[in-house]
Amino acid sequence: MKLLKVDSVEETKRKIDHYFEGIYLEEEYIDIAEALDRIAAEDLYAQLEVPEFSRATVDGYAITAKDSYGASESLPTFLQIIGKVEMGETAAHKVTPGKAIYVPTGGMLPQGADAMVMIEYVESLDDETIAVYKAVAPGEGVIQKGEDIQKGEQILSKGRRLKPQDIGMLAAVGIYQIKVFRKPRVFVISTGDELVHPKEEIKPGQIRDINTYTLSAMALNGGAVLAGQVIVKDDFLRLQDIVKNAIAKSDVVVISGGSSVGAKDVTAQVIDSLGEPGVFIHGVAVKPGKPTIIGRVDRTAVFGLPGHPVSAMVIYKVFVDYILQKLQQFNEVQEIVIQGICDANIHASPGKETYQMVQLEKRDDKYIVKPIYGKSGAISLMAEAHGYIKIHGNQEGIHKGEKVEVILL
């Protein structure tokens, strides 16, 4: 077992970057219908223009803008109707001075036209004549060919999490398959002689397993798939066998409990026994979650999280999410942050990055941030929280009335 050495959060992330340099998930092609929330594995460029033809953005008449100059309610311009454009069809006629063609919204703009006058500003005098009561400028009511997306324009960056609008854009440029990173596989293990399944009756001294379900839900919420989940008693050989099996079938193994330095805390020894480079972090200057373990066996990340639910969830968000994003080359800001005014003084532990759970209350046009206090073993602390404040190790704390940033859970 390596000696316990407490690293800062930033030092820990730098070590993760070092030990997992060049380790990424495999790539696969999928249909865009299945691509929501997947991570793009390549830069994509448009191979055509959007729109592929100039078209109307309003319902009305295609004209030459000059024909409408000076038109008003009291002095309309009179134009001859020479046809109409059907949706999904090419315009059959050309617009010339003094002429107009009816075009529905989205229809192809006829050749010779450079503007659309909305039907609300047109009066039909007979089957062949309209009166135009409003002047329009060139380009008004029209989206030109290639105005939305130019051919050769980059439309997606590698490492982007695909949103509904991204998928719509891919469809617009004729891309129906996209290369993405395979979903990361996470295996969740909870350790402890005292743990029992939630459906079981508990005896004095036993507790229902919380972390297996909480951490598994966090993995699924982050876009991972579960490679497995299991409860293991405090037994070195049994835990070693389970972790070895988990490493073989997953990208990240998360073990809650057994990360401290007590007689039954064997997580670090188990990780070191299974291969190189083994444990490279044992102890992080963070509250809650100081006795955190991070290691690597072959290409698999192995985390030893504190057994207390709040500590386990905080460390998962700070470090497990970090490695999951790194494996997929995710390059966007993931955190959603709200600014508010702190409602009370908050003490921080010197030299440790402190994560304080808070609730948000909307008053008038601003958010009031209320700290929630409780011990790290209380799952209700997380259930009641809307988010948390991150207090850096060089800060003594936060004063009542101070502006803070709340990272939403």
The closest of 299, 307, 310, 254 to 275, measured between CA atoms, is 299
Q: How confident is the model at residue 71 (pLDDT cuts 50, 70, 90)?
A: very high
Q: What percent of the chain has pLDDT over 70?
A: 97
Lowest-pLDDT range of 262-276, 283-297, 381-395: 262-276
User: Over 70: is that where the pLDDT of 8 sits?
Assistant: yes
What pTM, to 2 d.p., does this model score? Answer: 0.86
With H, G, I as helix, E, B as strand and everything else as coil, classify residue 33.
helix
Tell me the backbone φ, ψ of residue 50, rounded to 5 degrees.
Answer: -130, 125
For residue range 92-137, what is the model confidence (pLDDT) as tens digits?
899 999 999 999 999 999 999 999 999 999 999 999 999 999 999 9
Query: Which pair of structure tokens corresponds to residue 106?
Result: 């989205």
Q: How far is CA 405 from CA 55, 194, 320, 335, 384, in A?
A: 45, 38, 22, 11, 18
Query: Strands 225-232, 185-191: parallel, antiparallel or unpaired by DSSP?
Result: parallel
Look up the CATH superfamily of 27-48+152-181.
Molybdopterin biosynthesis moea protein, domain 2 (3.90.105.10)
Give the torsion sign (CA, 86, 89, 93, 99): positive
User: Over 70: is that where the pLDDT of 249 sits?
Assistant: yes
The confidence score (pLDDT) of residue 2 equals 46
> Between 3.30.70.270, 2.170.190.11, 1.10.240.10, 3.40.50.2000, what CATH number should domain 55-143 receive?
2.170.190.11
HEC profile of 177-205: EEEEECCCEEEEEEECCCEECCCCCCCCC
Sorted by where each begins, the domain ranges of the chain are 9-25+183-327, 27-48+152-181, 55-143, 337-408
The confidence score (pLDDT) of residue 377 equals 65
For residue range 77-88, what is the model confidence (pLDDT) as tens digits?
999 999 999 999
Strand partners of residue 162: none
For residue range 253-268, what is the model confidence (pLDDT) as tens digits?
999 986 665 555 789 9
Q: How far apart are CA 77 and CA 133, in angstroms?
A: 7
For residue range 355-364, what is the model confidence (pLDDT) as tens digits?
999 999 999 9
The residues, any chain, with a CB within 8 Å of residue 134's CB and separated by 6 or more, are: 68, 71, 72, 117, 118, 121
The confidence score (pLDDT) of residue 376 equals 66
The residues, any chain, with a CB within 8 Å of residue 351's CB and separated by 6 or more, are: 285, 393
Tokens 């494996």 -> residue = 327
CATH architecture of the region 337-408 = Beta Barrel (2.40)
The confidence score (pLDDT) of residue 1 equals 42
For residue range 197-215, what is the model confidence (pLDDT) as tens digits?
889 888 998 889 999 999 9
What is the CA angle 266-218-211, rounded to 5? 40
Q: How far apart are CA 287 and CA 393, in angstroms?
A: 10
Look up the CATH superfamily of 9-25+183-327.
MoaB/Mog-like domain (3.40.980.10)
For residue range 21-54, what is the model confidence (pLDDT) as tens digits?
999 999 999 999 999 999 999 999 999 999 999 9
Q: How confident is the model at residue 3 (pLDDT cuts 50, 70, 90)?
A: very low
Average pLDDT, the chain: 93
Q: How far apart are CA 99 and CA 120, in angstroms?
A: 18
Is 275 exposed, middle or buried, given 0-12, 13-18 or 19+ CB atoms closer than 10 A?
Answer: middle
Q: What percent of the chain has pLDDT over 90?
A: 82
